[in-house]
Amino acid sequence: MNKYLCLLLAGFCFISCVEEKPRDRANRLKQNIITLQNERNFTAAIDSARVALGVLQGLQADNLEISGMLCHLGTMCYSIGSLNEAEAYFNQARGLLEQMQRFDEANQLLATVLDGLALIYESMRDVVRADDLHQQARTVREEQLGFDHPEAKAGRESLAKSFRERGEPDKALRLREEELARHEQALGKDHPIVADDLQNLADILIAMGSYDQAESYLKRALRILEKKFGAYHSTLAKLYNDLALLYQRKGEFPDADTLFTRLRTIRERDFGNDHPVVATVQHNLAVLYEKMGDYHRADSLYRRAQRIKEEKLNRVHPEVYAILSDFSKFCDKIASYPKAESLYLQMLTIRQQELRPKHKELISILNDLAALYIKMGLLPEAEKRYLEARGIYELERQSNYEDMVTTSNHLAALYNVMGNHSEAKKIYKQVLDSLKKNLGPDHLEVANAFANLSRTYSLLRAPGDATRLEREAQAIRKRSLPPTRPNFVLGPPPTTSRPTRTRLIQILDSLVTERRREADLRFHFYRRLFPHLSEEQQLIYIQENPLLPDLWPWLCFEYGSQLPSLRGLIAYMSLNSKGLMLEALTHQAKESNIVNQIAQLQTGLSKMQ
């Protein structure tokens, strides 16, 4: 009986398969492809698409439908890195479409196919062919569909983005300038679409560091839109945000505050006080007030933005993470350590729960958390976090050697502070080997690694090895550095061009936090080392290993007005450096040293004036 039932069921299945019409099968396969793509199972989706393609070809379906499936296959193959297969599918689709009598849907698909081929050639570093295909796609869209057709506009957006990602912003700029000229001629210079074009141009110029020109375009766009809609219309929201962020970059904080406040009024009117869009403006204002030194208002806005985003989105949403990232560093800076710790731990949980954790970010969070524990005096906890960061690098190898070097240097310095000099020596040797391998034997970073190892041998009471390693470091510096080094007492070099200056400000802004962390560790290290040295040795050590290199005070004179965090760093290191000097020197030497420092600072200031 059971055998009979099995045969009957098999028969029903066979009949159902036989009765499925080819068109129904093709439609079922298309739905299956979508499901598999949503599940990110691209290999199975590609297999289903190949079967669907065969069914459509057997049905002798029209060329547009077959071309659509070929384009779909090409896109999926490109997404998994099968460039040769993707190229073949796109070329088949292109051949079919070019044989057809052209109409809107076919033109849109042909332009998509041409862009797909261009992306493949970009991946193959064949920029000439890629640009030619992008231009063909653009021509198809603009000539067949119209210059301002949504598909044509989207194509230009994609092309400009592609140029910028390839590091060719000048090409993106020319594309946007052509767009602006076409619209000015067709619509007039005061049309809202012209304002959109001006904002697109400003975005590219900001990325290129041309802040003044970008500002002029944004101000012109602002005049157009305010005249058309009024100062508090929702259309101006993005423009206010972009211009405020630009003012913030340039250090023009009051102007940025005015625009962010106006934007906040618009967003609260349109969405209510507790909407995530309002929280985004509060987040930007918090960052601005932090830069202005108004920590009370910054703290209040960070907290409100975090609360709204967590309530309206969820605790692991990317926008929540962005607030946590800035808020944690702010709390760290103002010495609100328990709050900073909770924020760092929340960030760590978010990243660890991701299906594909961003290993570089995990390492960065763990390093920040470890540095925080050092400030809190929780050295074993700091050690634990540094070891976790090193473990991620060693297990996954997803990060570059620089991540390993940074973490390892911090961990080794911590071990020296904790008195575990043997472990510090072992790690510094690993760092030295890695730097030699990746940078060559004569790089300044290699010299620093030799110097770190030398100091560790001093702590191990091995003066011979320490001297030998320090000589290695000095020899590398002598070979690598120019004959004369810049000295801030002589005044700054000639003023650089605006793009170079603004780029340097961006670099300095990112370096200040790292420098502060390094200083904390070095102060711990020096104070642990000094009791083992004579007064004369202490003085020599400070002179040979200055906590405040000449370049940093000069940078403060040159750029400090635009970077409050840089001024704070210099003041912090100056005070600690003088504290060490007072501990190390005799009364007469102290007075002499302080007088000399004041004289140098006065000379530097007079040069700037």
The 10s digit of each residue's pLDDT in 34-64 is 888 777 787 888 888 888 888 888 877 777 8
Q: Encoding tokens for residue 314?
A: 């969820």
What's residue 564's pLDDT? 61
Examine the pLDDT at 73 and tell me if it is beyond 90: no
Domain boundary assignment for the chain: 17-148, 504-608
φ and ψ of 492, to 5 deg? -75, 160
Comparing 98 with 192, the larger pLDDT belongs to 192
Q: Which CATH architecture has domain 17-148?
A: Alpha Horseshoe (1.25)
The span from the CA of 32 to the CA of 26, in Å, is: 10
Average pLDDT over residues 428-449: 88
The span from the CA of 149 to the CA of 516, in Å, is: 52
Q: Over pLDDT 90: what percentage of the chain?
A: 28
What's residue 477's pLDDT? 82
Q: How many CA atoms lie within 13 A of 436 on its CB side?
A: 12
What's residue 152's pLDDT? 81
- Read off the pLDDT of residues 108-147 as tens digits, 9 standing for 90 and up: 888 888 888 888 888 888 878 888 888 888 888 877 778 8
Examine the pLDDT at 426 and tell me if it is beyond 90: yes
Reported confidence tier of residue 16, pLDDT bands at 50, 70, 90 = very low
Reported confidence tier of residue 604, pLDDT bands at 50, 70, 90 = very low
What's residue 13's pLDDT? 43
The span from the CA of 599 to the CA of 609, in Å, is: 15
Examine the pLDDT at 1 and tell me if it is beyond 50: no
What's residue 493's pLDDT? 40
Average pLDDT of the chain is 78
Average pLDDT over residues 273-302: 94
Average pLDDT over residues 444-470: 88
What's residue 47's pLDDT? 86
Instruction: Look at the block and give the residue holding tokens 């459509």.
Output: 56
Comparing 149 with 272, the larger pLDDT belongs to 272
**343, 327 contact by CB (below 8 A):** yes
> SS3 of 497, please?
coil
The span from the CA of 68 to the CA of 110, in Å, is: 9
User: Which range (7-16, 167-176, 195-204, 541-550) has the least confidence?
Assistant: 7-16
Reported confidence tier of residue 103, pLDDT bands at 50, 70, 90 = low
Reported confidence tier of residue 251, pLDDT bands at 50, 70, 90 = confident
Examine the pLDDT at 362 and tell me if it is beyond 90: no
What's residue 351's pLDDT? 86
What's residue 62's pLDDT? 76
Would you say the pTM of this structure is higher than 0.75?
Answer: no
Ranges of H-type helices in 313-400: 318-333, 337-352, 359-375, 379-396
Q: Over pLDDT 70: what percentage of the chain?
A: 73
Return the DSSP state at 149: S
What's residue 586's pLDDT? 39
What's residue 17's pLDDT? 43
The span from the CA of 411 to the CA of 386, in Å, is: 6
What's residue 309's pLDDT? 93
Average pLDDT over residues 64-84: 84
Average pLDDT over residues 141-164: 81
**SS3 breakdown of the chain: % helix, strand, coil, rounded to 5?**
85, 0, 15
What's residue 9's pLDDT? 40
What's residue 384's pLDDT? 94
What's residue 11's pLDDT? 40
- Alpha carbon distances (Å) from 214 to 225, 243, 245, 258, 477: 17, 9, 12, 19, 41
Average pLDDT over residues 160-171: 83
Examine the pLDDT at 4 and tell me if it is beyond 60: no
What's residue 562's pLDDT? 56
Residue type, 84: N
Return the DSSP state at 234: G
Average pLDDT over residues 308-324: 89
The span from the CA of 52 to the CA of 47, in Å, is: 9
What's residue 563's pLDDT? 56
Examine the pLDDT at 348 and tell me if it is beyond 50: yes
Contacts 24+ apart (CB under 8 A), 457-460: 457/425, 458/529, 459/416, 459/421, 459/424, 459/529, 459/532, 460/421, 460/422, 460/425
Examine the pLDDT at 485 and tell me if it is beyond 70: no
What's residue 188's pLDDT? 93
What's residue 253's pLDDT? 92
Comparing 542 with 211, the larger pLDDT belongs to 211
